[in-house]
Homo-oligomer: A and B are copies of this chain.
Amino acid sequence: MPKNKDAVYYSDYLKLDTLLSAQQPHSPKYGAEAHDEMLFIIVHQVYELWFKQVLHELRAIHADFSKPQLDDKALYLVAHRLRRVLTIQDLMNDQVAVIETMTPQEFLEFRDYLVPASGFQSIQFKELEIRLGLTRKTRIAFDQQSFYNRLNEQDRNYLEELEQQPTLFDCVDDWLARMPFLEFKDFKFWDMYQAAVNDALDHDETIIRENAADEEQLHTELAGIQANRDNFAALFDNERYKVLQESDAVRLSQRAMLSALFITQYREEPAFNLAWQVITSLAEVDEKLTIWRYKHAMMVQRMLGTKIGTGGSSGHDYLRRTTEQNRVFKDFFAMSTYLLPKSALPELPERVKAALGFSSLSALEKGDGAA
Protein backbone atom coordinates (compact mmCIF):
# COMPACT_ATOMS: atom_id res chain seq x y z
CA MET A 1 0.00 0.00 0.00
CA PRO A 2 1.11 3.60 -0.57
CA LYS A 3 3.62 5.03 1.92
CA ASN A 4 3.18 8.64 2.80
CA LYS A 5 5.76 9.71 0.25
CA ASP A 6 3.33 8.32 -2.33
CA ALA A 7 0.52 10.35 -0.78
CA VAL A 8 -1.94 11.01 -3.59
CA TYR A 9 -3.07 14.58 -4.22
CA TYR A 10 -6.63 15.05 -5.51
CA SER A 11 -5.75 17.30 -8.45
CA ASP A 12 -2.78 15.14 -9.47
CA TYR A 13 -4.83 11.96 -9.37
CA LEU A 14 -7.49 13.53 -11.59
CA LYS A 15 -4.89 15.23 -13.83
CA LEU A 16 -6.80 18.48 -13.40
CA ASP A 17 -3.98 20.61 -14.88
CA THR A 18 -4.35 18.67 -18.12
CA LEU A 19 -8.12 18.35 -17.98
CA LEU A 20 -8.80 22.01 -17.26
CA SER A 21 -6.30 23.25 -19.86
CA ALA A 22 -8.31 21.64 -22.67
CA GLN A 23 -10.97 24.37 -23.01
CA GLN A 24 -9.65 26.72 -25.70
CA PRO A 25 -12.38 28.93 -27.20
CA HIS A 26 -11.70 30.22 -30.72
CA SER A 27 -13.72 33.42 -30.46
CA PRO A 28 -10.91 35.43 -28.79
CA LYS A 29 -8.79 34.91 -31.93
CA TYR A 30 -11.48 36.72 -33.92
CA GLY A 31 -12.23 39.51 -31.46
CA ALA A 32 -14.10 39.60 -28.18
CA GLU A 33 -14.56 36.29 -26.37
CA ALA A 34 -18.05 34.85 -26.83
CA HIS A 35 -19.06 34.05 -23.25
CA ASP A 36 -21.04 30.97 -24.22
CA GLU A 37 -18.35 29.27 -26.27
CA MET A 38 -17.05 27.84 -22.98
CA LEU A 39 -20.41 26.17 -22.39
CA PHE A 40 -20.38 24.78 -25.91
CA ILE A 41 -16.91 23.28 -25.40
CA ILE A 42 -17.54 21.88 -21.92
CA VAL A 43 -20.89 20.32 -22.84
CA HIS A 44 -19.24 18.47 -25.74
CA GLN A 45 -16.23 17.47 -23.64
CA VAL A 46 -18.50 16.03 -20.95
CA TYR A 47 -20.25 14.02 -23.64
CA GLU A 48 -16.87 12.71 -24.80
CA LEU A 49 -15.95 11.69 -21.24
CA TRP A 50 -19.23 9.81 -20.92
CA PHE A 51 -18.64 8.22 -24.34
CA LYS A 52 -15.26 7.05 -23.04
CA GLN A 53 -16.88 5.53 -19.95
CA VAL A 54 -19.63 3.86 -21.99
CA LEU A 55 -16.97 2.43 -24.33
CA HIS A 56 -15.00 1.24 -21.29
CA GLU A 57 -18.06 -0.78 -20.23
CA LEU A 58 -19.01 -1.93 -23.74
CA ARG A 59 -15.47 -3.16 -24.47
CA ALA A 60 -15.49 -5.25 -21.27
CA ILE A 61 -18.95 -6.61 -22.12
CA HIS A 62 -17.88 -7.25 -25.70
CA ALA A 63 -14.79 -9.13 -24.48
CA ASP A 64 -16.88 -11.36 -22.20
CA PHE A 65 -19.30 -12.21 -25.00
CA SER A 66 -16.37 -12.96 -27.32
CA LYS A 67 -15.31 -15.89 -25.13
CA PRO A 68 -16.30 -19.35 -26.34
CA GLN A 69 -18.31 -19.74 -23.13
CA LEU A 70 -19.88 -17.09 -20.90
CA ASP A 71 -19.91 -18.15 -17.25
CA ASP A 72 -22.55 -16.97 -14.80
CA LYS A 73 -20.37 -14.49 -12.92
CA ALA A 74 -19.49 -12.88 -16.24
CA LEU A 75 -23.19 -12.73 -17.07
CA TYR A 76 -23.83 -10.98 -13.75
CA LEU A 77 -21.15 -8.41 -14.58
CA VAL A 78 -22.56 -7.87 -18.06
CA ALA A 79 -26.03 -7.15 -16.63
CA HIS A 80 -24.54 -4.92 -13.92
CA ARG A 81 -22.47 -2.91 -16.41
CA LEU A 82 -25.33 -2.53 -18.88
CA ARG A 83 -27.39 -1.00 -16.07
CA ARG A 84 -24.53 1.45 -15.53
CA VAL A 85 -24.50 2.32 -19.23
CA LEU A 86 -28.26 2.98 -19.05
CA THR A 87 -27.81 5.25 -16.03
CA ILE A 88 -25.17 7.25 -17.91
CA GLN A 89 -27.45 7.45 -20.95
CA ASP A 90 -30.24 8.92 -18.81
CA LEU A 91 -27.81 11.61 -17.69
CA MET A 92 -26.67 12.28 -21.26
CA ASN A 93 -30.28 12.67 -22.34
CA ASP A 94 -31.00 15.13 -19.52
CA GLN A 95 -27.81 17.04 -20.39
CA VAL A 96 -29.49 18.39 -23.53
CA ALA A 97 -31.27 20.79 -21.14
CA VAL A 98 -27.90 22.41 -20.35
CA ILE A 99 -27.00 23.27 -23.94
CA GLU A 100 -30.57 24.51 -24.40
CA THR A 101 -29.80 27.29 -21.90
CA MET A 102 -27.79 28.84 -24.75
CA THR A 103 -30.00 30.97 -26.98
CA PRO A 104 -29.66 30.74 -30.79
CA GLN A 105 -28.38 34.31 -30.75
CA GLU A 106 -25.67 33.45 -28.23
CA PHE A 107 -24.60 30.56 -30.46
CA LEU A 108 -24.40 32.86 -33.50
CA GLU A 109 -21.67 34.84 -31.71
CA PHE A 110 -19.15 32.05 -32.37
CA ARG A 111 -20.75 29.56 -34.75
CA ASP A 112 -18.63 30.70 -37.71
CA TYR A 113 -15.37 29.97 -35.93
CA LEU A 114 -16.22 26.26 -35.69
CA VAL A 115 -16.80 25.58 -39.38
CA PRO A 116 -16.75 22.87 -40.60
CA ALA A 117 -16.30 20.90 -37.36
CA SER A 118 -19.29 18.71 -36.59
CA GLY A 119 -20.52 16.33 -33.92
CA PHE A 120 -20.68 13.77 -36.72
CA GLN A 121 -16.92 13.60 -36.35
CA SER A 122 -16.94 12.16 -32.82
CA ILE A 123 -14.87 9.03 -33.24
CA GLN A 124 -15.87 7.68 -29.84
CA PHE A 125 -19.55 7.98 -30.70
CA LYS A 126 -18.91 6.23 -34.02
CA GLU A 127 -17.00 3.46 -32.26
CA LEU A 128 -19.92 3.13 -29.87
CA GLU A 129 -22.32 2.66 -32.79
CA ILE A 130 -20.01 0.30 -34.69
CA ARG A 131 -19.21 -1.75 -31.60
CA LEU A 132 -22.89 -2.19 -30.77
CA GLY A 133 -23.40 -3.39 -34.33
CA LEU A 134 -24.84 -0.50 -36.30
CA THR A 135 -24.29 -1.56 -39.89
CA ARG A 136 -22.13 0.59 -42.15
CA LYS A 137 -25.11 1.10 -44.46
CA THR A 138 -27.34 2.66 -41.83
CA ARG A 139 -24.51 4.45 -40.09
CA ILE A 140 -23.43 6.20 -43.26
CA ALA A 141 -26.96 7.31 -43.96
CA PHE A 142 -26.81 8.89 -40.53
CA ASP A 143 -23.40 10.40 -40.80
CA GLN A 144 -23.70 11.64 -44.35
CA GLN A 145 -21.03 10.07 -46.54
CA SER A 146 -19.53 13.47 -47.19
CA PHE A 147 -18.51 13.95 -43.56
CA TYR A 148 -17.34 10.42 -43.16
CA ASN A 149 -15.01 11.02 -46.09
CA ARG A 150 -13.72 14.09 -44.37
CA LEU A 151 -12.41 12.23 -41.30
CA ASN A 152 -8.63 12.37 -41.06
CA GLU A 153 -6.57 9.37 -42.14
CA GLN A 154 -5.97 8.03 -38.64
CA ASP A 155 -9.59 8.27 -37.53
CA ARG A 156 -10.95 6.69 -40.69
CA ASN A 157 -8.48 3.80 -40.49
CA TYR A 158 -9.32 3.20 -36.85
CA LEU A 159 -13.01 2.92 -37.62
CA GLU A 160 -12.55 0.83 -40.75
CA GLU A 161 -10.30 -1.55 -38.83
CA LEU A 162 -13.00 -1.79 -36.18
CA GLU A 163 -15.64 -2.61 -38.77
CA GLN A 164 -13.76 -5.79 -39.66
CA GLN A 165 -14.33 -7.28 -36.21
CA PRO A 166 -17.41 -9.09 -34.91
CA THR A 167 -19.72 -6.61 -33.20
CA LEU A 168 -21.42 -6.98 -29.82
CA PHE A 169 -24.56 -7.86 -31.76
CA ASP A 170 -22.74 -10.72 -33.49
CA CYS A 171 -21.39 -12.06 -30.19
CA VAL A 172 -24.76 -11.86 -28.45
CA ASP A 173 -26.32 -13.66 -31.42
CA ASP A 174 -23.72 -16.46 -31.16
CA TRP A 175 -24.24 -16.77 -27.42
CA LEU A 176 -28.01 -17.10 -27.81
CA ALA A 177 -27.63 -19.50 -30.74
CA ARG A 178 -25.46 -21.77 -28.53
CA MET A 179 -28.35 -22.33 -26.13
CA PRO A 180 -29.96 -25.79 -26.48
CA PHE A 181 -33.55 -24.60 -26.05
CA LEU A 182 -34.64 -26.39 -29.19
CA GLU A 183 -33.67 -29.86 -28.09
CA PHE A 184 -35.72 -30.64 -25.00
CA LYS A 185 -36.15 -34.40 -25.37
CA ASP A 186 -39.75 -35.35 -24.77
CA PHE A 187 -40.90 -31.85 -23.72
CA LYS A 188 -42.61 -30.53 -26.88
CA PHE A 189 -42.29 -26.86 -25.96
CA TRP A 190 -42.26 -25.39 -29.47
CA ASP A 191 -45.33 -27.34 -30.60
CA MET A 192 -47.30 -26.07 -27.62
CA TYR A 193 -45.88 -22.62 -28.17
CA GLN A 194 -46.86 -22.39 -31.85
CA ALA A 195 -50.37 -23.56 -31.07
CA ALA A 196 -50.69 -20.98 -28.28
CA VAL A 197 -49.42 -18.09 -30.42
CA ASN A 198 -51.80 -19.02 -33.22
CA ASP A 199 -54.68 -18.96 -30.73
CA ALA A 200 -53.53 -15.51 -29.59
CA LEU A 201 -53.44 -14.22 -33.16
CA ASP A 202 -56.91 -15.67 -33.89
CA HIS A 203 -58.03 -13.89 -30.75
CA ASP A 204 -56.59 -10.57 -31.93
CA GLU A 205 -58.34 -11.10 -35.26
CA THR A 206 -61.66 -11.50 -33.46
CA ILE A 207 -61.04 -8.32 -31.49
CA ILE A 208 -60.41 -6.44 -34.72
CA ARG A 209 -63.48 -7.80 -36.49
CA GLU A 210 -65.65 -6.91 -33.53
CA ASN A 211 -64.24 -3.44 -32.91
CA ALA A 212 -63.04 -2.06 -36.22
CA ALA A 213 -64.68 1.32 -36.72
CA ASP A 214 -64.80 1.12 -40.50
CA GLU A 215 -63.82 -0.98 -43.51
CA GLU A 216 -60.54 0.82 -44.00
CA GLN A 217 -59.37 0.18 -40.46
CA LEU A 218 -60.58 -3.42 -40.63
CA HIS A 219 -58.57 -3.95 -43.79
CA THR A 220 -55.38 -2.37 -42.39
CA GLU A 221 -55.48 -4.24 -39.11
CA LEU A 222 -56.24 -7.64 -40.71
CA ALA A 223 -53.30 -7.10 -43.03
CA GLY A 224 -51.21 -6.47 -39.91
CA ILE A 225 -52.37 -9.73 -38.35
CA GLN A 226 -51.57 -11.63 -41.53
CA ALA A 227 -48.07 -10.13 -41.58
CA ASN A 228 -47.59 -11.30 -37.98
CA ARG A 229 -48.79 -14.81 -38.92
CA ASP A 230 -46.33 -14.94 -41.80
CA ASN A 231 -43.42 -13.63 -39.73
CA PHE A 232 -44.24 -16.03 -36.94
CA ALA A 233 -44.48 -19.02 -39.26
CA ALA A 234 -41.12 -18.00 -40.68
CA LEU A 235 -39.52 -18.38 -37.22
CA PHE A 236 -39.80 -22.14 -37.72
CA ASP A 237 -39.00 -22.31 -41.45
CA ASN A 238 -35.35 -21.83 -42.44
CA GLU A 239 -36.14 -20.70 -45.99
CA ARG A 240 -38.77 -18.13 -45.04
CA TYR A 241 -36.63 -16.90 -42.14
CA LYS A 242 -33.78 -16.17 -44.58
CA VAL A 243 -36.19 -14.01 -46.55
CA LEU A 244 -37.09 -12.02 -43.45
CA GLN A 245 -33.42 -11.46 -42.74
CA GLU A 246 -32.65 -10.33 -46.27
CA SER A 247 -35.53 -7.85 -46.11
CA ASP A 248 -34.16 -6.50 -42.79
CA ALA A 249 -37.42 -7.51 -41.10
CA VAL A 250 -35.33 -9.41 -38.56
CA ARG A 251 -31.62 -9.37 -37.84
CA LEU A 252 -31.03 -12.11 -35.26
CA SER A 253 -30.21 -15.61 -36.50
CA GLN A 254 -33.11 -18.03 -36.32
CA ARG A 255 -31.69 -20.01 -33.39
CA ALA A 256 -30.84 -16.83 -31.48
CA MET A 257 -34.34 -15.47 -32.04
CA LEU A 258 -35.94 -18.60 -30.62
CA SER A 259 -33.57 -18.63 -27.62
CA ALA A 260 -34.39 -14.99 -26.93
CA LEU A 261 -38.09 -15.83 -27.09
CA PHE A 262 -37.65 -18.76 -24.71
CA ILE A 263 -35.64 -16.70 -22.21
CA THR A 264 -38.13 -13.83 -22.33
CA GLN A 265 -41.02 -16.21 -21.72
CA TYR A 266 -39.34 -17.85 -18.73
CA ARG A 267 -37.47 -14.83 -17.38
CA GLU A 268 -38.84 -15.44 -13.89
CA GLU A 269 -36.88 -18.68 -13.64
CA PRO A 270 -33.63 -17.89 -11.79
CA ALA A 271 -31.54 -19.52 -14.51
CA PHE A 272 -32.93 -17.14 -17.11
CA ASN A 273 -33.31 -13.97 -15.08
CA LEU A 274 -29.86 -12.50 -15.71
CA ALA A 275 -29.98 -13.44 -19.39
CA TRP A 276 -33.34 -11.68 -19.68
CA GLN A 277 -31.96 -8.60 -17.92
CA VAL A 278 -29.17 -8.51 -20.51
CA ILE A 279 -31.58 -8.82 -23.45
CA THR A 280 -33.85 -6.11 -22.08
CA SER A 281 -30.96 -3.80 -21.25
CA LEU A 282 -29.58 -4.06 -24.77
CA ALA A 283 -32.96 -3.03 -26.16
CA GLU A 284 -32.99 -0.10 -23.71
CA VAL A 285 -29.52 1.01 -24.77
CA ASP A 286 -30.94 1.32 -28.28
CA GLU A 287 -34.03 3.10 -27.05
CA LYS A 288 -32.13 5.68 -25.00
CA LEU A 289 -29.72 6.23 -27.87
CA THR A 290 -32.70 6.99 -30.11
CA ILE A 291 -34.11 9.44 -27.57
CA TRP A 292 -30.68 11.10 -27.38
CA ARG A 293 -30.43 11.49 -31.17
CA TYR A 294 -33.97 12.80 -31.24
CA LYS A 295 -33.55 15.40 -28.47
CA HIS A 296 -30.19 16.37 -29.91
CA ALA A 297 -31.71 16.87 -33.36
CA MET A 298 -34.51 19.02 -31.96
CA MET A 299 -31.93 21.12 -30.13
CA VAL A 300 -29.97 21.61 -33.37
CA GLN A 301 -33.12 22.66 -35.21
CA ARG A 302 -34.00 25.08 -32.44
CA MET A 303 -30.51 26.54 -32.46
CA LEU A 304 -30.29 26.97 -36.23
CA GLY A 305 -33.85 26.88 -37.54
CA THR A 306 -33.33 25.78 -41.12
CA LYS A 307 -29.86 27.36 -41.17
CA ILE A 308 -26.96 25.05 -41.88
CA GLY A 309 -25.01 23.54 -38.97
CA THR A 310 -21.32 24.08 -38.31
CA GLY A 311 -20.70 21.03 -40.42
CA GLY A 312 -22.91 22.24 -43.23
CA SER A 313 -25.78 19.90 -42.41
CA SER A 314 -29.21 21.29 -41.73
CA GLY A 315 -30.72 20.37 -38.37
CA HIS A 316 -33.97 19.79 -40.17
CA ASP A 317 -32.62 17.06 -42.47
CA TYR A 318 -30.93 15.42 -39.54
CA LEU A 319 -34.16 15.47 -37.58
CA ARG A 320 -35.99 13.70 -40.40
CA ARG A 321 -33.17 11.21 -40.77
CA THR A 322 -32.77 10.40 -37.11
CA THR A 323 -36.42 9.55 -36.67
CA GLU A 324 -35.95 6.59 -38.98
CA GLN A 325 -34.31 5.32 -35.77
CA ASN A 326 -31.93 2.58 -36.73
CA ARG A 327 -31.87 0.23 -33.77
CA VAL A 328 -29.36 -2.59 -33.49
CA PHE A 329 -31.36 -4.77 -31.11
CA LYS A 330 -34.80 -4.04 -32.49
CA ASP A 331 -35.58 -7.78 -32.50
CA PHE A 332 -35.42 -7.76 -28.68
CA PHE A 333 -37.48 -4.60 -28.68
CA ALA A 334 -40.19 -6.22 -30.79
CA MET A 335 -40.01 -9.55 -28.93
CA SER A 336 -43.38 -8.82 -27.40
CA THR A 337 -45.07 -9.50 -30.73
CA TYR A 338 -44.84 -13.23 -30.01
CA LEU A 339 -45.11 -13.23 -26.22
CA LEU A 340 -47.67 -15.35 -24.46
CA PRO A 341 -49.41 -14.44 -21.22
CA LYS A 342 -48.14 -16.58 -18.34
CA SER A 343 -51.54 -18.30 -18.20
CA ALA A 344 -51.08 -19.61 -21.77
CA LEU A 345 -47.50 -20.72 -21.12
CA PRO A 346 -46.59 -24.42 -20.72
CA GLU A 347 -45.04 -25.08 -17.29
CA LEU A 348 -41.45 -26.35 -17.52
CA PRO A 349 -41.27 -30.03 -16.52
CA GLU A 350 -39.49 -30.66 -13.20
CA ARG A 351 -36.92 -32.71 -15.10
CA VAL A 352 -36.02 -29.71 -17.23
CA LYS A 353 -35.93 -27.38 -14.25
CA ALA A 354 -33.67 -29.74 -12.35
CA ALA A 355 -31.34 -29.93 -15.30
CA LEU A 356 -31.25 -26.13 -15.34
CA GLY A 357 -30.30 -26.07 -11.66
CA PHE A 358 -33.36 -24.03 -10.78
CA SER A 359 -33.33 -24.73 -7.06
CA SER A 360 -30.63 -22.29 -5.91
CA LEU A 361 -31.60 -20.07 -2.97
CA SER A 362 -34.90 -21.65 -2.04
CA ALA A 363 -33.06 -24.97 -2.00
CA LEU A 364 -30.94 -23.61 0.83
CA GLU A 365 -33.99 -22.45 2.70
CA LYS A 366 -35.60 -25.87 2.34
CA GLY A 367 -32.40 -27.18 3.89
CA ASP A 368 -31.42 -29.50 1.03
CA GLY A 369 -28.69 -26.91 0.62
CA ALA A 370 -25.05 -26.55 1.46
CA ALA A 371 -25.13 -27.72 5.06
Contact = CB atoms under 8 A, between A and B. Distances in A.
A178 B35 CA distance: 28
Interface string A204-218: 101110111110110
Contacts of A190: none
Chain A interface SS verdict (over half): helix
Contacts of A75: 270, 361-362
B20 A18 contact: no
Contacts of A46: 46, 49-50
B41 A14 contact: yes
Interface string A260-286: 000011011111111100000001000
B306 A334 contact: yes
B305 A45 contact: no
A37 to B, nearest CB: 10
Interface range on chain A: under 10, 10 to 19, 20 to 34, or 35 or more? Answer: 35 or more
A98 B88 contact: yes
Contacts of A112: 1-2, 203, 207
Contacts of A337: 304-307
Interface string A17-43: 011111110100000000100110110
A327 B288 CA distance: 23
**Most chain B beta-carbon neighbours within 10 Å: one of A2, A39, A75:** A2
Contacts of A20: 48-49, 52, 124
Contacts of A371: 180, 183-185
A141 interface: no
Given A73-B269, A302-B336, A360-B360, 12 more contacts: A1-B203, A2-B112, A4-B211, A8-B310, A9-B117, A13-B117, A75-B362, A80-B101, A271-B364, A291-B294, A307-B336, A357-B360
Interface string A131-149: 0000000000000111101
B268 A336 contact: no
A365 B259 CA distance: 12
Nearest to A345: B105
- Copies of this chain, count: 4
A2 to B, nearest CB: 6
A91 interface: yes
A89 to B, nearest CB: 10
Contacts of A314: 221, 224
Contacts of A152: 9
B364 A356 contact: yes
A73 B349 CA distance: 15
Contact of A180 (B180, B207, B271, B367): B367
A195 interface: no
Given A95-B91, A312-B207, A360 B72 contact: yes
